[in-house]
Structure formats: structure tokens, C-alpha cells
Amino acid sequence: MTAGRLARRAAHWLLVLLLLLGGIVMVFPLFWLASTSLRPAPELNIVPPHLLPDHWTLENYTKVFASAPMFTYLWNSFVFATVSTVFILLTSTIAGYVFAKFKVPGNNLLFMLVLATAIVPFEIYMVPLFTQMNALGLVNKPLGLFLPFLVLSYGIFFMRQNTMTSVPDELLDAARIDGMGEFAIAFRLVPRLLAPALFALAILAFIQAWTAFIWPLLILNDPKLFPMEVGLSQFANNFSVDFGVTSAGAVIALLPTIIAFLILRRRIVDGITLTGIKG
């Protein structure tokens, strides 16, 4: 074996080792969360903590459903995330198509302004946003919760890039020659060509809405409207936190996103890897 080939093999296995270590670091918090949710209360205070429970129990999961309306929280999160995802797919696809294929004055400038909003932290504008919602009478209303999650600037960028690389101008011209109108092209033809990207954006948008915490906490004060993330905060009081019950609730909150990712993982990878960098 030559020195060059030996060096390449060593570099390959070093990369594999680094990726393996990185994967362990990323997965370990989830493993620890699940492990904590299966521990009885006395084991939560053992020092040093054991990697696995000494006595496995589902008592924490029973307490979660007994002490809080978990099905209501799950349903609220599902409705919120689904509505947000549908509107983000719609707005991102149409806006991305317009920015990619319609050359009008100011198009690039407007796109840059939209993209620039992605770098503004939510904490910067959440107070003005809340003030606006309060003026509209939308505090503690589902519409007030939904409105900021109906458009995603990254989604517009994502779909624009995919439209530029996956939707040929020749195909659009052929559709127009065959008599297809612009609305039919935008709502029927383009989405079919962008199916992998739509699946990828759908899971990203769904996770963003499902895991939202700050905005629902600000805009809602009726427990009947709380999504899952805000509902979990109700397990903490001013003096203590029941980590076993809270961990069980967090595991339940994670399951829908994990299941969605496992089902759509191939389409997500395809959609992201096909995203072009042409601009």
C-alpha cells in the first residue's frame, strides 16, 4: 500500500470517527431525556447519575396525562403547525416562483429585503408585533397566534433557488403556448416540479411551528389554547420542577416531529441537496 493511499484511508476513517462522535453528541441529549422520563422520582437525585434507570417505570407518563390536558395541547399544536405549514408552502412557492421567473424592476431589491428579514432576531420585533396584535384585538385569539407564522422568509429563498434550478423556462413557455394560464402554471405545474423541495420545506415549517414557544407564550393566556410547548411550561412552579414528568411531556412533544422526519427523511434530503445556488 502506497503512502498516499494509506494517508487517504487514514483521513477517511478519521472523518468517520469525527462524524460518529458528532452524532453521539447530538443524540445524547435525546437519549438522556428519554432515560429521565423512565426513572422513578428517587433516582432523579442520584449523584453521579446513572446512564440508564435502575428501575424502569411509566409512572411519569401517567402523571403527565393525569395532571394536564395533554390531548388538548397536542391538538392545538397540530392545528397550529398544520395551518402554518400549509400557508408557508403556499406563500413560499408563489413568491419563490415570482422572484425566480419574473424579471420586473425592483425584483432583486425586494427579494434582498425579504431575505434580510431572516437575520433579524424575533426578540427585536416581538414587542412591536404584540402591540400590533393587541391593537387589532387578536391577543388570546388563534388568528393572533397564526399570523406571524404564515410567511417564512427562508422558505421564499428556498423555493426561489429550487425554482431557478428545477423549473426550466422552456417548459413554462411550452405551457403558455398550450394555453395554460399563469395561475394554472403557478398552482398546478410548478408545485409538481418542486415536490421534493416542498416536502423538505413542509417538515421545516412544521417543526418551526410545533416547537414555537415565545410567541404563543406572549399572545395566549387561555390554557385551552396553549400549544404543547407552552403547556409543558405549566409543569414548573415557583419552587421546583418535576424533571421526570417534564421529561415525559417533552418526549411526547417530540414524537410527532421525529415520526414526520423518519417518514419524509429521503424527500427532505432530496429537496435540500437539489437546492441550487444560482442567483
Q: Residue 267: its pLDDT value, please?
A: 67
Domain encompassing residue 39:
1-57
Q: Are residues 46 and 184 in the same domain?
A: no
C-alpha closest to that of 144 among 155, 153, 154, 132? 132
Burial of 92 (0-12, 13-18, 19+ CB in 10 A): buried
Give helix 59-67 / helix 70-101 axis angle, nearest 10°.
80
Alpha-carbon distance values, 239 to 10, 168, 235 (Å): 53, 61, 11
Q: Does residue 131 fall inside a structural domain?
A: yes
Q: Are residues 41 and 149 in the same domain?
A: no
Q: Residue 108: its pLDDT value, please?
A: 84
Q: Does residue 128 fall inside a structural domain?
A: yes
Q: Does residue 48 have a cis peptide bond before it, meaning omega lies within 30 degrees of 0?
A: yes
Q: Each residue's pLDDT tens digit in the chain (279 positions)?
A: 577 777 888 888 899 999 999 989 988 998 998 998 898 888 888 878 888 888 888 888 988 888 888 899 999 999 999 999 999 999 999 999 988 888 888 888 888 888 888 888 888 889 999 999 999 999 999 999 999 999 999 899 999 988 888 888 888 888 888 888 888 888 888 888 888 888 888 888 998 999 899 999 999 988 899 999 898 887 766 446 778 888 888 899 888 888 877 777 776 666 665 554 444
Residue whose C-alpha cell is 426550466: 168
Q: Are residues 114 and 52 in the same domain?
A: no
Q: What is the 3-state secondary structure (H, E, C) of 202-225?
A: HHHHHHHHHCCCHHHHHHCCCHHH
pTM, full prediction: 0.82
DSSP state of 12: H
Q: Are residues 92 and 149 in the same domain?
A: yes
Q: Are residues 145 and 193 in the same domain?
A: yes
CATH of the domain at 110: 1.10.3720.10
CA R_g for the chain = 24
CB 31 within 8 A of CB 248: no
Q: Does residue 279 fall inside a structural domain?
A: no
Q: Are residues 82 and 140 in the same domain?
A: yes
Torsion sign across C-alpha atoms 37, 42, 45, 49: negative
CB 196 within 8 A of CB 274: yes
| Number of domain units in the chain | 2
Amino acid at 268: I
Contacts of 65 (CB under 8 A, 6+ apart): 71
Q: Residue 278: its pLDDT value, please?
A: 43
Q: Are residues 3 and 71 in the same domain?
A: no
CB 157 within 8 A of CB 115: yes
Q: Does residue 158 fall inside a structural domain?
A: yes
**Cell numbers representing residue 129 in the block:** 408585533
Strand partners, 236: 241
Q: Residue 273: its pLDDT value, please?
A: 59
Q: Residue 20: its pLDDT value, please?
A: 92
| Listed residues 22, 39, 57: the one ending a domain | 57
| Listed residues 57, 73, 94: the one ending a domain | 57
